[in-house]
């Protein structure tokens, strides 16, 4: 064991350590305990045995696990799926999805709420864990050896130690290129042998496939099955992949499948048949923090509103800034003036927009104005193949499948003259954080955990453990080079790239936006420097380009997240070239902007210096950069240190320090925002759980519905006589499920309305969060009662013909087509995003006070449209609606 392997204090900056200690956030720097476990594993001596012996030991440990897993799970319900499971002993131990134990107040028989994921008896869990702990040394020892022989990679001591930490449900911080993919295999094998499925979340589809295939031999060696799920897979393929012992999948796909499973009206359409158990989240900060800002949504079809987006798009172009409307790009607001009201009204052919009956139209005008003024092509979105595609402000990458809410999406489509696509009705939605928490056992790994250690601890109960690299890194992180204005920065960047490129040294440039990458590439081309630009959507192609970023003479320009998880091997496998690149000091990483969090900056730096290779990283920034402007960094800098515009770099540590400080404040703010949003979304999550549990109980036929027998006894009796008790029971369950789905979808819409109006409560002196909970709790209770009543009412219209109950007559069955997407703003994060866009740098409290302003416009639009829709819908009788009608109803 290398001498410096025991602790990793030196890897973390001391100010942050002090802060974490002060805040009581445990971060483990002393990894000796884990390394001692490695010594125990080595003592089992698997390295010296023959292949046959290794096989025999794997089989023996598997049998031992199986036998014990069965006893420790005895007495519990058996599998509802996974046909191949019994042969391998990986019998799923709980009924599919959430069980019926502990139904909420609104459960069919009025029991108490319980977390579906933790509904398992504590006793069973302890014995299960004790079993796994006992098996750990043996399993890790065999797996280590198997990896060495099958993959040609023998996990280093730190890797094995990190595997132990993962098994304990920790968050392992390991630098990029240290081999986290391999680390995850050890705990995954162990937990899968325990008989319960293991999911490994990867950062993208490409990695899900790559890792499953790459690590597959080790799993199979233990007789375990491995699968992966990627976009575009069929129902059967998904089902098979989830039934495997270990499944590689993105959090997004798994979350969408979860939502889809909870709209299925018979068990055959459910892809995930086992209860969620263990998840290991790779690139944990990316998935649990950055990506998690965007909730997953599944939507059903809905007819478009009668708004002519194109006409409005043309109209707002006629309006004049400062006369007809006032706009503030930083605060993200745009409002019509008095004159604007009149002008827009005239342009619409003499409409009085200030009249209440024109509210809907007025909102639509505002939305069109928002799209025209505040959203900029090639910054906020790009237009490609006749589609508007959002650019994630955080990662600078095109966000696949993401939409703006509240009619903004069609407004932008109209602005760009592309096809206006319908918005859809939300059938289900879940933030990734909540989804991940459905797993009783969560572990994670990433190169950048410490800056977000507090968040991991508070949201997921994950303790960060910092592992030192296997061999000390040789990367040099240079100080930032700061210019006063952008032109000087660009010139310096181009000079630096051209200079270094002339030596043949590979360069990776990380930019903040698609536009910036393209401008830089064009400028380099003019200088005769050939480069590759990465802003592709295709993970695989992206990965291929990034993988070649370490070759001689390569210049790769990418937005900062591109190719996360891809291994940049110097020389890309060519040994001679590798030597040449090593002689040139390895990969040179240049960042052209500081990002909103150190994690993102550190990820970029981490692309260099893989597995103790040499490398250099440096940020070249200007005081005109978006981030610095937006957060008024100059205002923070003491007057004496505010540099005058100059062509050379500013060589003042105070300026650099202020930039770093601003970044920390922003991080803190963003964390505060996420905490606030979390509080809001938690209540909705609770309700979602109740609805889903009740739904699952019906789907799995675990409860006898009793509402109709009590509410309409005569009709019930008559139907039972005509069709038999089983058919009536099934019909009632299907009907209740259908009505529950519809009510839930409407409830989601209502929550959005409440949330949008909630800021007004502050004006009335009330606490928004309290008011919000009160309202949604009332609405929920009302909704559940309504479902019960409607079920009985519609049940009375059911008839049995030829001994069969025809549900289609009352509009049940034949589910509408669904699709999935991510909303750029969830019911709460309109607040969040506007906060992120706020340049106020004061305390979180004042932030929360101002947070409600920037959304004024969206608020009007969203609320009014939905009110109007609901009012319209309320005039229709319930019950006999097709899906189309349903869609209109909830908007
Ligand atoms: P990370 O996810 O930590 O950035 P990867 O899992 O992509 O790292 O692995 C980085 C590189 O390290 C890969 O090329 C892999 O082959 C190599 N590697 C990892 N572990 C070992 C090992 N124990 N022995 C040799 N090479 C390894
Ligand atoms: Mg990785």
Is 182 touching ligand 1 by the criterion CB < 6 Å? yes
* Ligand 1 mean position, distance from CA 173 (Å): 14
Q: Summarize the confidence of residues 224-242 as an average pLDDT.
A: 94
Whether pLDDT at 695 is above 80: yes
CA distance 568 to 610: 8
Q: What is the mean pLDDT of the chain?
A: 79
Ligand 1 midpoint to CA 181 (Å): 7
8, pLDDT greater than 70: no
Range 510-525 average pLDDT:
87
As a whole number of angstroms, the distance between CA 523 and CA 491 comes to 10
Distance separating alpha carbons of residues 509 and 555, to the nearest angstrom? 8
Instruction: Look at residue 164 in the predicted model and tell me its pLDDT.
Output: 97
Average pLDDT over residues 69-86: 42
| Neighbouring C-beta atoms of residue 416, cutoff 10 Å | 18
Residue identifier of the C-alpha nearest atom 2 of ligand 1 = 180
237 compared with 548, residue with greater pLDDT: 237
Q: Is the CB of 567 under 6 A from ligand 1?
A: yes
List pLDDT tens digits, range 700-726. 888 877 788 888 888 889 888 888 888
Structure-model confidence comparison of residues 762 and 586, the more confident one: 586
CA of 26 to the centre of ligand 1 (A): 28
Q: Report residue 25 CA to chain centroid gap.
A: 24
CA of 8 to the centre of ligand 1 (A): 20
Give how far the C-alpha of residue 777 lies from the chain's centroid of Cα atoms, to the nearest Å: 26
pLDDT at 681: 85
Angstrom distance (rounded) from CA 471 to CA 159: 12
Q: How far apart are CA 254 and CA 553, in angstroms?
A: 40
Q: State if residue 176 touches ligand 1 by the CB under 6 angstroms criterion.
A: yes
Residues 373-408 have pLDDT tens digits of 888 888 788 888 888 888 766 556 676 667 776 678
Q: Is the pLDDT of residue 226 over 70?
A: yes
Nearest atom of ligand 1 to the alpha carbon of 282: 2
Mutation probe of ligand 1 site: the residue of 173, 182, 185, 550 with most atoms within 8 A of C-beta: 182
What integer is the mean pLDDT of 203-217? 93
| Interacting residues of 351 by C-beta distance below 8 A, sequence separation 6+ | 345, 358, 361
Confidence of residue 59 (pLDDT cuts 50, 70, 90): very high
Model confidence at 821, in pLDDT bands (50, 70, 90)? low
- CA pair distance 790, 769, nearest whole angstrom: 31
pLDDT for position 891: 25
Give yes or no for residue 153 CB within 6 A of ligand 1.
yes
> Which atom of ligand 1 approaches the CA of 159 most closely?
23
Give the distance (Å) from ligand 2 centre to CA of residue 487.
Answer: 36
Supply the pLDDT for residue 405.
Answer: 67
pLDDT greater at residue 842 or residue 51: 51
Ligand closest to Cα of 568 equals: 1
Q: Which of 143, 172, 181 to mutate to test the pocket of ligand 1 (most atoms within 8 A of CB)?
A: 181
**Dist CA 356 CA 870 (whole Å):** 16
Q: Is the pLDDT of residue 78 over 50?
A: no
Q: Helix, strand, coil % (nearest 5) of the chain?
A: 55, 15, 35
What is the whole-number distance in angstroms between the Cα of residue 870 and the centre of ligand 2?
47
Backbone φ, ψ for residue 384 (5° rounding)? -145, 135
pLDDT of residue 843: 29
Q: Give 178 Cα–ligand 1 centroid separation in angstroms.
A: 5
Lowest-confidence pick of 119-128, 562-571, 814-823: 814-823
Residue 174 Cβ inside 6 Å of ligand 1? The answer reads yes
Please state whether beta strands 481-483 and 614-622 pair in parallel, antiparallel, or not at all (unpaired): parallel
Contact 466, 173 (CB under 8 A): yes
Q: Is any atom of ligand 1 closer than 6 Å to the C-beta of 210?
A: no
Please give the pLDDT value at position 185.
98
Identify the residue with better confidence: 402 or 302.
Answer: 402
More confident residue, 91 or 796: 796
pLDDT band at 35 (very low <50, low <70, confident <90, very high): very high
Nearest atom, ligand 1, residue 181 CA = 6
- The pLDDT confidence band at residue 367, using thresholds 50, 70 and 90, is confident
692 lines ligand 1 (CB under 6 A): no
Whether 445 lines ligand 1, by a CB cut-off of 6 Å, is no
Would you tell me how many other CB atoms lie within 10 Å of the CB of residue 259? 21
Global pTM?
0.78
Q: Whose CA is nearest to atom 23 of ligand 1?
A: 155
Q: How far apart are CA 504 and CA 577, in angstroms?
A: 11
From 105-114, 484-493, 796-805, 863-872, the region with the lowest mean pLDDT: 105-114
**Does the pLDDT of residue 192 top 90, yes or no?**
yes
Q: What is the mean pLDDT of residues 854-881?
A: 41
Q: Is the pLDDT of residue 826 over 70?
A: no
Helix, strand, or coil (residue 375): coil
Count of alpha carbons within 13 angstroms of residue 40, beta-carbon side: 16
How does pLDDT run across 325-348, given as a tens digit for each residue? Answer: 988 766 667 888 888 888 898 888
d(CA 103, CA 862): 34
CB count within 10 Å of CB 51 equals: 11
More confident of the two residues 858 and 184: 184
With cut-offs at 50, 70 and 90, classify the pLDDT of residue 803.
confident
Name the more confident of 635 and 578: 578
Q: Is the CB of 180 under 6 A from ligand 1?
A: yes
The answer to which of 20-34, 353-367, 840-854 has the lowest mean pLDDT is 840-854
Distance from the alpha carbon of residue 225 to the mean position of ligand 2, in angstroms: 21
pLDDT at residue number 710: 85
Q: Is residue 122 over pLDDT 80?
A: no
**Percentage of residues of the chain with pLDDT beyond 70:** 77
Residue 221's pLDDT band, with cuts at 50, 70 and 90, is: very high
Say if ligand 1 is within 6 A of residue 154 CB. yes
What is the rounded average pLDDT of the residues 528-554? 80
Poorest-pLDDT segment among 284-293, 357-366, 573-582, 675-684: 357-366
Q: Rounded CA gap, 60 and 51, in Å?
A: 14
The number of C-alpha atoms within 13 Å of 631 and in the hemisphere containing its C-beta is 27
More confident residue, 350 or 630: 350
pLDDT computed for residue 102 by the predictor: 29
Residue 682 Cα distances to 107, 394, 433, 459, 500, angstroms: 20, 24, 10, 11, 51
Residue 217: per-residue pLDDT: 96
763-801 exposure pattern, b = at least 16 Cβ within 10 A, e = fewer: eeeeebeebbbebbeebbeebbeebbebbbbbbeebebe
Give one DSSP letter per residue of 212-280, joined into a string. Answer: HHHHHHHHHHTT--EEEE-TT--HHHHHHHHHSSEEEEEHHHHHHHHHHHTT-SSGGG-S--S---EEE
User: Does the beta carbon of 202 lie inside 6 Å of ligand 1?
Assistant: no
pLDDT above 90 covers a percentage of the chain that reads 33
Of the listed ranges 99-113, 464-478, 824-838, the one predicted with least confidence: 99-113
Packing angle of the helix pair 122-151, 32-42 (nearest 10 deg): 70
Helix axes 653-699, 598-605, angle to 10 degrees: 100
Q: Is it the case that residue 511 has pLDDT exceeding 60?
A: yes
Residue 568 has pLDDT above 70, yes or no: yes
pLDDT for the residue 669: 81
The count of other CB atoms within 10 Å of the CB of residue 724 is 15
């Amino acid at each position: 064991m290398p001498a410096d392997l025991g602790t990793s204090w030196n890897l973390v900056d001391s100010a942050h350590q002090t802060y974490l200690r002060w805040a009581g956030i445990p971060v483990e720097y002393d990894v000796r305990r884990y390394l001692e476990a490695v010594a125990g594993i080595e003592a089992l001596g698997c390295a010296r045995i023959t292949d046959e012996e290794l096989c025999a030991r794997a089989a023996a440990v598997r049998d031992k696990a199986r036998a014990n897993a069965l006893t420790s799970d005895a007495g519990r319900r058996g599998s509802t799926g996974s046909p191949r499971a019994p042969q391998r002993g990986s019998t799923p131990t709980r009924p599919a999805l959430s069980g019926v134990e502990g139904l909420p107040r609104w459960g069919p028989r009025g029991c108490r709420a319980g977390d579906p994921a933790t509904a398992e008896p504590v006793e069973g869990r302890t014995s299960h864990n004790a079993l796994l702990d006992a098996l750990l040394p043996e399993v890790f020892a065999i797996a280590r050896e198997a990896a060495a022989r099958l993959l040609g990679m023998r996990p280093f001591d730190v890797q094995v130690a990190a595997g132990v930490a993962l098994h304990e449900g920790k968050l392992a911080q390991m630098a990029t290129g240290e081999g986290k993919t391999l680390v995850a295999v050890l705990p995954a094998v162990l937990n899968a042998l325990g008989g319960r499925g293991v999911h490994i979340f990867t950062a993208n589809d490409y990695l899900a496939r790559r890792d499953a295939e790459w690590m597959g031999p080790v799993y199979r060696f233990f007789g375990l099955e491995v699968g992966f799920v990627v976009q575009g897979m069929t129902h059967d393929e998904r089902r098979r992949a989830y039934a495997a012992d270990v499944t590689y999948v993105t959090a997004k796909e798994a979350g969408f499948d979860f939502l889809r499973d909870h709209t299925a009206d018979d068990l055959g359409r459910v892809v995930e048949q086992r209860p969620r158990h263990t998840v290991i989240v790779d690139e944990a900060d990316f998935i649990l923090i950055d990506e998690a800002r965007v909730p997953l949504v599944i939507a059903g079809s809905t007819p478009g509103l009668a708004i002519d987006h194109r006409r409005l798009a043309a109209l707002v172009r006629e309006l004049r800034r400062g006369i007809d409307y006032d706009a503030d790009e930083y605060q993200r607001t745009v409002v019509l003036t008095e004159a604007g009201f009149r002008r827009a009204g005239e342009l619409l052919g003499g409409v009085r927009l200030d009249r209440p009956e024109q509210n809907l139209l007025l909102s639509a005008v505002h939305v069109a104005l928002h799209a025209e003024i505040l959203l900029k092509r090639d910054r906020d979105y790009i237009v490609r193949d006749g589609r508007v595609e959002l650019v994630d402000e955080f990662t600078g990458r095109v966000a696949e499948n993401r939409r703006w809410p509240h009619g903004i999406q069609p407004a932008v489509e109209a602005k760009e003259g592309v096809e206006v696509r319908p918005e859809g009705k939300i059938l289900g939605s879940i933030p990734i954080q909540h989804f991940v928490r459905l797993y009783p056992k969560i572990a994670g790994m990433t190169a950048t955990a410490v800056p977000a250690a507090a968040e991991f601890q508070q949201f997921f109960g994950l303790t960060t453990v910092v592992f030192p690299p296997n061999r000390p890194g040789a990367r040099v992180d240079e100080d930032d080079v700061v210019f006063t204005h952008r032109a000087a920065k660009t010139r310096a960047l181009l000079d630096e790239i051209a200079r270094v490129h002339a030596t043949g040294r590979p360069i990776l440039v990380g930019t903040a936006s698609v536009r910036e990458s393209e401008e830089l590439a064009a400028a380099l081309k003019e200088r005769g420097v050939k480069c590759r630009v990465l802003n592709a959507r295709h993970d695989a192609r992206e990965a291929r380009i990034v993988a070649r970023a370490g070759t001689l003479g390569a210049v790769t320009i990418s937005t900062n997240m591109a190719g996360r998880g891809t291994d940049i091997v110097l020389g890309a496998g060519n040994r001679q070239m590798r030597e040449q690149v090593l002689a040139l000091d390895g990969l040179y990483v240049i960042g052209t902007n500081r990002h909103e969090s150190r994690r993102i900056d550190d990820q970029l730096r981490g692309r260099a210096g893989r597995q103790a290779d040499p490398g250099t990283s440096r940020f070249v920034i200007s005081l005109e950069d978006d981030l610095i402007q937006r957060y008024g960094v100059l205002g923070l800098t003491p007057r004496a240190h505010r540099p005058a515009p100059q062509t050379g770099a500013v060589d003042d540590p105070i300026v650099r320090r202020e930039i770093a400080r601003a970044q920390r404040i922003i991080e803190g703010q963003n964390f505060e925002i996420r905490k606030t949003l979390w509080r809001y979304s938690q209540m909705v999550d609770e309700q979602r759980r109740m609805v889903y549990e009740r739904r699952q109980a019906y789907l799995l036929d675990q409860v006898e519905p009793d509402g109709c027998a009590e509410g309409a006894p005569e009709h019930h009796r008559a139907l039972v006589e005509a069709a038999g008790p089983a058919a009536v029971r099934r019909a009632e369950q299907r009907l209740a499920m259908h009505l529950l789905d519809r009510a839930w979808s409407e409830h989601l819409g209502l929550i959005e309305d409440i949330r949008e109006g909630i800021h007004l409560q502050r004006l009335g002196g009330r606490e928004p969060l309290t008011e919000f909970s009160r309202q949604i709790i009332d609405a929920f209770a009302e909704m559940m009662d309504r479902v019960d009543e409607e079920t009985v009412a519609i049940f009375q219209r059911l008839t049995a013909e030829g001994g069969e109950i025809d549900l289609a007559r009352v509009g049940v069955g034949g589910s509408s087509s669904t699709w999935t997407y991510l909303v750029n703003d969830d019911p709460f994060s309109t607040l969040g995003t506007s906060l992120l866009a706020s340049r106020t740098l004061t305390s979180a409290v004042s932030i929360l006070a101002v947070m409600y302003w920037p959304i004024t416009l969206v608020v009007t639009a969203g609320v009014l449209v939905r009110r109007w829709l609901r009012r319209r819908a309320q005039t229709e009788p319930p019950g006999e609606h097709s899906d189309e009608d349903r869609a209109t109803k909830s908007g």
